[in-house]
Structure 1
Amino acid sequence: MSGVLDNSTNGRKSLPSSPGGVKRAFLALNDKNKNSENSQQIYKLFETLKERYFFQPENIIFLTADEAGEEQILAAMETLIQLVNHKDTVVIRFSDEKILDDARVSDNLNTLSKLSPKCII
Protein backbone atom coordinates (compact mmCIF):
# COMPACT_ATOMS: atom_id res chain seq x y z
CA MET A 1 0.00 0.00 0.00
CA SER A 2 1.50 3.32 -0.95
CA GLY A 3 1.00 6.58 0.83
CA VAL A 4 2.12 10.17 0.85
CA LEU A 5 4.69 11.35 3.37
CA ASP A 6 3.17 14.13 5.44
CA ASN A 7 5.27 16.29 7.75
CA SER A 8 2.27 16.94 10.00
CA THR A 9 2.19 13.24 10.90
CA ASN A 10 5.77 13.07 12.20
CA GLY A 11 7.02 11.32 9.07
CA ARG A 12 4.29 8.66 9.03
CA LYS A 13 2.55 7.99 5.76
CA SER A 14 -1.00 9.11 5.19
CA LEU A 15 -3.41 7.80 2.57
CA PRO A 16 -4.60 10.70 0.45
CA SER A 17 -8.14 11.79 1.20
CA SER A 18 -10.35 14.61 0.03
CA PRO A 19 -11.33 17.41 2.41
CA GLY A 20 -14.39 16.22 4.29
CA GLY A 21 -13.78 12.61 3.31
CA VAL A 22 -13.68 9.71 5.72
CA LYS A 23 -11.21 6.82 5.68
CA ARG A 24 -13.28 3.62 5.76
CA ALA A 25 -12.36 -0.06 5.53
CA PHE A 26 -14.11 -3.39 5.18
CA LEU A 27 -12.01 -6.41 6.21
CA ALA A 28 -13.31 -9.99 6.30
CA LEU A 29 -11.68 -13.16 7.61
CA ASN A 30 -13.77 -15.36 5.37
CA ASP A 31 -11.40 -18.31 4.98
CA LYS A 32 -12.41 -19.72 8.42
CA ASN A 33 -8.78 -20.34 9.38
CA LYS A 34 -7.58 -17.67 11.84
CA ASN A 35 -4.03 -18.92 11.54
CA SER A 36 -3.70 -18.88 7.76
CA GLU A 37 -1.24 -16.47 6.20
CA ASN A 38 -4.08 -14.51 4.57
CA SER A 39 -5.91 -14.18 7.89
CA GLN A 40 -2.75 -12.94 9.58
CA GLN A 41 -2.37 -10.35 6.82
CA ILE A 42 -5.91 -9.12 7.53
CA TYR A 43 -5.13 -8.70 11.23
CA LYS A 44 -1.93 -6.85 10.32
CA LEU A 45 -3.78 -4.63 7.83
CA PHE A 46 -6.34 -3.75 10.52
CA GLU A 47 -3.58 -2.55 12.85
CA THR A 48 -1.70 -0.79 10.03
CA LEU A 49 -4.77 1.13 8.92
CA LYS A 50 -5.32 2.38 12.47
CA GLU A 51 -1.74 3.09 13.47
CA ARG A 52 -0.05 4.17 10.26
CA TYR A 53 -2.86 5.59 8.14
CA PHE A 54 -5.07 7.04 10.91
CA PHE A 55 -8.26 5.09 10.17
CA GLN A 56 -10.66 5.45 13.09
CA PRO A 57 -11.72 2.03 14.47
CA GLU A 58 -15.40 3.02 14.24
CA ASN A 59 -14.94 3.42 10.46
CA ILE A 60 -13.58 -0.10 9.98
CA ILE A 61 -15.99 -2.98 9.46
CA PHE A 62 -14.05 -6.06 10.59
CA LEU A 63 -15.72 -9.46 10.29
CA THR A 64 -14.03 -12.32 12.14
CA ALA A 65 -14.06 -15.89 10.86
CA ASP A 66 -17.23 -16.59 12.87
CA GLU A 67 -18.97 -13.53 11.42
CA ALA A 68 -17.82 -13.67 7.80
CA GLY A 69 -20.43 -15.84 6.14
CA GLU A 70 -21.65 -14.88 2.69
CA GLU A 71 -24.84 -13.21 3.95
CA GLN A 72 -22.98 -11.29 6.67
CA ILE A 73 -20.44 -10.07 4.10
CA LEU A 74 -23.24 -8.89 1.82
CA ALA A 75 -25.02 -7.13 4.69
CA ALA A 76 -21.81 -5.38 5.75
CA MET A 77 -21.16 -4.28 2.18
CA GLU A 78 -24.69 -2.87 1.95
CA THR A 79 -24.01 -0.90 5.14
CA LEU A 80 -20.78 0.42 3.65
CA ILE A 81 -22.58 1.42 0.44
CA GLN A 82 -25.00 3.50 2.51
CA LEU A 83 -22.12 5.30 4.27
CA VAL A 84 -19.64 5.96 1.45
CA ASN A 85 -19.51 9.11 -0.65
CA HIS A 86 -17.20 10.40 -3.38
CA LYS A 87 -14.85 12.09 -0.88
CA ASP A 88 -14.14 8.92 1.11
CA THR A 89 -11.14 6.63 0.90
CA VAL A 90 -12.23 2.98 1.10
CA VAL A 91 -10.05 -0.12 1.60
CA ILE A 92 -11.62 -3.56 1.08
CA ARG A 93 -9.84 -6.85 1.74
CA PHE A 94 -10.96 -10.48 2.07
CA SER A 95 -8.77 -13.27 3.44
CA ASP A 96 -10.31 -15.66 0.88
CA GLU A 97 -10.74 -13.95 -2.46
CA LYS A 98 -12.96 -16.73 -3.83
CA ILE A 99 -15.82 -14.60 -2.52
CA LEU A 100 -15.12 -12.26 -5.44
CA ASP A 101 -16.63 -14.92 -7.71
CA ASP A 102 -20.03 -14.27 -6.09
CA ALA A 103 -22.03 -12.03 -8.44
CA ARG A 104 -23.68 -10.12 -5.57
CA VAL A 105 -20.33 -9.36 -3.94
CA SER A 106 -18.92 -8.31 -7.30
CA ASP A 107 -21.92 -6.02 -7.91
CA ASN A 108 -21.45 -4.41 -4.49
CA LEU A 109 -17.75 -3.86 -5.18
CA ASN A 110 -18.62 -2.19 -8.48
CA THR A 111 -21.11 0.06 -6.69
CA LEU A 112 -18.52 1.01 -4.06
CA SER A 113 -15.89 1.81 -6.68
CA LYS A 114 -18.37 4.11 -8.42
CA LEU A 115 -19.33 5.83 -5.16
CA SER A 116 -15.73 6.43 -4.12
CA PRO A 117 -13.00 6.98 -6.71
CA LYS A 118 -10.53 6.18 -3.91
CA CYS A 119 -11.77 2.61 -3.42
CA ILE A 120 -8.87 0.15 -2.97
CA ILE A 121 -9.81 -3.50 -3.39
Structure 2
Amino acid sequence: MSSPPPPPADGRGTRAALIFALTAERLSIWYEHNQWPTEAQGATLVADWLGRSKRSLPLTDRRHLSDLSDQLARRIAGTLSREAGLYAVHEMMEALDPNYDSDLARSLMAECESLLDGPGTPG
Protein backbone atom coordinates (compact mmCIF):
# COMPACT_ATOMS: atom_id res chain seq x y z
CA MET A 1 0.00 0.00 0.00
CA SER A 2 1.48 3.35 -1.02
CA SER A 3 1.36 6.39 1.18
CA PRO A 4 -0.70 9.39 0.12
CA PRO A 5 1.15 12.11 -1.80
CA PRO A 6 2.55 14.95 0.30
CA PRO A 7 0.55 18.18 0.44
CA PRO A 8 1.44 20.81 -2.16
CA ALA A 9 4.56 22.80 -1.35
CA ASP A 10 2.68 26.05 -1.77
CA GLY A 11 -0.12 25.06 0.62
CA ARG A 12 -0.54 27.09 3.80
CA GLY A 13 0.07 24.08 6.06
CA THR A 14 3.28 23.16 4.27
CA ARG A 15 4.53 26.73 4.41
CA ALA A 16 3.80 26.96 8.15
CA ALA A 17 5.55 23.62 8.72
CA LEU A 18 8.58 24.86 6.79
CA ILE A 19 8.74 28.02 8.92
CA PHE A 20 8.46 25.84 12.04
CA ALA A 21 11.23 23.46 10.93
CA LEU A 22 13.49 26.32 9.83
CA THR A 23 12.93 28.13 13.11
CA ALA A 24 13.92 24.99 15.02
CA GLU A 25 17.01 24.61 12.84
CA ARG A 26 17.98 28.27 13.27
CA LEU A 27 17.60 28.11 17.04
CA SER A 28 19.58 24.89 17.20
CA ILE A 29 22.46 26.48 15.28
CA TRP A 30 22.23 29.63 17.39
CA TYR A 31 22.44 27.74 20.68
CA GLU A 32 25.14 25.35 19.45
CA HIS A 33 27.37 27.77 17.49
CA ASN A 34 26.19 31.26 18.43
CA GLN A 35 25.55 32.02 14.74
CA TRP A 36 22.41 32.73 12.72
CA PRO A 37 22.05 31.04 9.33
CA THR A 38 21.59 33.51 6.48
CA GLU A 39 18.36 33.94 4.54
CA ALA A 40 20.01 32.21 1.57
CA GLN A 41 21.06 29.24 3.72
CA GLY A 42 17.49 28.89 4.96
CA ALA A 43 16.12 29.08 1.41
CA THR A 44 18.54 26.36 0.33
CA LEU A 45 17.50 24.17 3.25
CA VAL A 46 13.84 24.55 2.23
CA ALA A 47 14.74 23.51 -1.33
CA ASP A 48 16.59 20.46 0.00
CA TRP A 49 13.69 19.43 2.24
CA LEU A 50 11.09 19.87 -0.50
CA GLY A 51 13.32 18.14 -3.04
CA ARG A 52 13.19 14.95 -0.97
CA SER A 53 9.50 14.66 -1.85
CA LYS A 54 9.97 15.99 -5.40
CA ARG A 55 8.29 19.31 -4.54
CA SER A 56 9.60 22.83 -4.96
CA LEU A 57 8.87 26.48 -4.35
CA PRO A 58 10.19 29.51 -6.22
CA LEU A 59 13.30 31.11 -4.73
CA THR A 60 11.39 34.26 -3.71
CA ASP A 61 8.94 32.14 -1.69
CA ARG A 62 11.74 30.13 -0.09
CA ARG A 63 13.59 33.30 0.86
CA HIS A 64 10.43 34.78 2.35
CA LEU A 65 9.84 31.66 4.48
CA SER A 66 13.48 31.80 5.53
CA ASP A 67 13.08 35.44 6.55
CA LEU A 68 9.93 34.69 8.56
CA SER A 69 11.68 31.84 10.36
CA ASP A 70 14.61 34.14 11.12
CA GLN A 71 12.28 36.73 12.64
CA LEU A 72 10.58 34.12 14.82
CA ALA A 73 13.83 32.44 15.89
CA ARG A 74 15.39 35.74 16.92
CA ARG A 75 12.25 36.72 18.82
CA ILE A 76 12.25 33.38 20.67
CA ALA A 77 15.97 33.62 21.46
CA GLY A 78 15.52 37.20 22.65
CA THR A 79 12.72 36.37 25.06
CA LEU A 80 13.85 33.06 26.57
CA SER A 81 16.77 32.21 28.80
CA ARG A 82 19.33 29.90 27.23
CA GLU A 83 17.95 26.95 29.20
CA ALA A 84 14.36 27.69 28.17
CA GLY A 85 15.50 28.23 24.57
CA LEU A 86 17.25 24.86 24.51
CA TYR A 87 14.08 23.26 25.86
CA ALA A 88 12.02 24.98 23.14
CA VAL A 89 14.42 23.74 20.44
CA HIS A 90 14.21 20.21 21.84
CA GLU A 91 10.40 20.32 21.79
CA MET A 92 10.38 21.71 18.25
CA MET A 93 12.78 19.07 16.98
CA GLU A 94 10.77 16.31 18.64
CA ALA A 95 7.57 17.76 17.17
CA LEU A 96 8.95 17.28 13.65
CA ASP A 97 7.80 13.71 14.24
CA PRO A 98 4.02 13.83 13.62
CA ASN A 99 3.48 11.28 16.41
CA TYR A 100 4.94 13.64 19.03
CA ASP A 101 2.43 15.83 20.83
CA SER A 102 3.52 19.04 22.53
CA ASP A 103 1.57 22.07 23.74
CA LEU A 104 4.61 24.26 23.16
CA ALA A 105 5.05 22.98 19.60
CA ARG A 106 1.34 23.52 18.84
CA SER A 107 1.62 27.07 20.15
CA LEU A 108 4.71 27.76 18.05
CA MET A 109 3.05 26.23 14.97
CA ALA A 110 0.12 28.61 15.49
CA GLU A 111 2.66 31.46 15.58
CA CYS A 112 4.14 30.20 12.30
CA GLU A 113 0.67 30.20 10.77
CA SER A 114 0.03 33.75 11.96
CA LEU A 115 3.31 34.87 10.38
CA LEU A 116 1.94 33.66 7.06
CA ASP A 117 -1.05 35.96 7.49
CA GLY A 118 1.19 38.99 7.91
CA PRO A 119 1.76 41.67 5.28
CA GLY A 120 3.95 40.87 2.30
CA THR A 121 3.37 37.11 2.37
CA PRO A 122 3.22 35.63 -1.14
CA GLY A 123 0.69 32.92 -1.98
TM-score by length of 1: 0.29
Structure with more of its chain in helix, by fraction = 2
Structure with more of its chain in strand, by fraction = 1
TM-score by length of 2: 0.29
